[in-house]
């Protein structure tokens, strides 16, 4: 994100959509961009299923010193390319008992 103005911009970040619970913003849901600066926002994804997940990231402007930015919208889509097992559990049990 880039702030080309001479005023600070502040946004409230909201994740919405079918799989929004699988996405998160590790640094919280408030984004502040200093004047004439740029920054990156990290979005984390926690995979629960093999199918792709989708959500929308909304950045809604909050007024700071009388200046408002535009609302920004980003489409988030996951893709699982590799899976490591969390662990292996061995157990022994009879298949049938009277």
What is the per-residue pLDDT across 3-60, written as a single tens digit (0 to 9) for each?
A: 888 888 999 999 999 999 999 999 999 999 998 999 999 999 988 888 889 999 999 9
- Count, residues in the chain: 98
- Is residue 16 in some structural domain? yes
Burial class (CB in 10 A: 0-12, 13-18, 19+), 73: exposed
- Is residue 38 in some structural domain? yes
- Is residue 71 in some structural domain? yes
- Is residue 34 in some structural domain? yes
- Is residue 58 in some structural domain? yes
- The answer, as to whether pTM is greater than 0.85, is no
* Domain count across the chain: 1
- What 64-73 contacts at long range (C-beta under 8 Å, 24+ apart), as own/partner pairs, is 64/7, 64/8, 64/9, 64/10, 65/7, 65/8, 67/5, 67/7, 67/8, 67/9, 69/3, 69/9, 69/11, 72/1, 72/11
């Amino acid at each position: 994100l880039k702030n080309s103005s001479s005023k600070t911009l502040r946004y409230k970040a909201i994740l919405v959509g079918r799989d929004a619970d699988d996405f998160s913003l590790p640094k919280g849901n408030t984004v502040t961009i200093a004047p004439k600066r740029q920054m990156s926002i990290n979005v984390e994804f926690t995979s629960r299923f093999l199918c792709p997940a989708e959500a929308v990231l909304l950045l809604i402007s909050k007024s700071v010193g009388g200046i408002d930015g535009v609302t920004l919208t980003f489409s988030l889509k996951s893709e699982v390319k590799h899976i490591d097992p969390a662990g292996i559990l061995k157990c022994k049990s009879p298949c049938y008992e009277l």
